[in-house]
Amino acid sequence: NAGVTQTPKFQVLKTGQSMTLQCAQDMNHNSMYWYRQDPGMGLRLIYYSASEGTTDKGEVPNGYNVSRLNKREFSLRLESAAPSQTSVYFCASGRATYEQYFGPGTRLTVT
Amino acid sequence: AQSVTQPDIHITVSEGASLELRCNYSYGATPYLFWYVQSPGQGLQLLLKYFSGDTLVQGIKGFEAEFKRSQSSFNLRKPSVHWSDAAEYFCAVVSADKLIFGTGTRLQVFP
């Protein structure tokens, strides 16, 4: 039981490049989330998916898109990366908002 | 909407000393409150949660937290800190069916 896995662990992009962050969970959870963590700001919700086939914006969705590929997988895409998107990205899954399990994170640097 | 405030950005304690990390929540109905811990380079792990009932909540790793409605607080405590407790600690609250995090408190432990 791997829990929540994220790939890649580290990534460096140039401004304007695109990339997709992958997240998968093996706990049969309906809900999945993407957060970003910046120094002094805690974690902020980017997008979430309450169930397979649905996605909704969180607090900071601009510049991102998501896909809930199936019940297990929830990807986050940066179409045109900007330095302001330098951050640590966490995926989480859970049966409900009040029960979330977090992945190990992806550290992204945009130069 | 509910929010949480962690007034201490950084706390330093000696190993074996007691610990209290502060968390204040904004006004509202009885909140769903959480404490998470993030070890360096890791994802977030749930320490404990409060939904209702007994206001003193026991968590993992010897941590406890007390919900005090009169003070709008949910402070995290540990009677004797170990060097392995050095990490960042986040308080969180459910608001509008989303998990809202505080800005975190970094704990440093001296031998």
List, for residues B35-81, the tens digit of each pLDDT value. Answer: 999 998 888 999 999 998 889 999 999 999 999 999 999 999 999 99
Q: What is the pLDDT of residue B53?
A: 87
How many C-beta neighbours within 10 Å does residue A12 have? Answer: 11
Q: What is the pLDDT of residue B42?
A: 87
Which residues in chain B touch residue A100, judged by CB atoms under 8 angstroms apart? 46, 99
- Mutate which of B2, B6, B32, B44 to disrupt the A interface (most A C-beta within 10 Å)? B44
Task: Indicate the residue of A44, A45, A98 with minimum beta-carbon distance to B32.
Answer: A98
**Residue A7 DSSP code:** E
Q: What is the pLDDT of residue B27?
A: 66
Task: Give residue ranges of B with CB < 8 Å to any A CB.
Answer: 9, 32, 34, 36, 41-46, 49, 51, 90, 94, 97-99, 101-104
Q: Taking the alpha carbons of A40, A3, A20, A12 in that order, is the dihedral positive or negative? A: positive
Contacts of B34 (CB under 8 A, 6+ apart): A98, B46, B47, B48, B49, B50, B91, B92, B93, B99
Average pLDDT, chain A: 95
Residue B96 confidence (pLDDT) above 70: yes
Distance from CA of A102 to the nearest CA of B (A): 6
Residue A84: HSE in the Cβ half-sphere, 13 Å Cα cutoff: 6
Average pLDDT, chain B: 93
Rounded to whole angstroms, how far apart are CA atoms A14 and A84? Answer: 12
SS3 B75: strand
Query: What would the mean pLDDT of A79-95 be, rounded to a whole number?
Result: 96
Which residues in chain B touch residue A43, judged by CB atoms under 8 angstroms apart? 44, 90, 101
Q: What is the pLDDT of residue B1?
A: 77
List, for residues B4-26, the tens digit of each pLDDT value. Answer: 999 999 999 999 999 999 999 99
Residue B105 confidence (pLDDT) above 90: yes
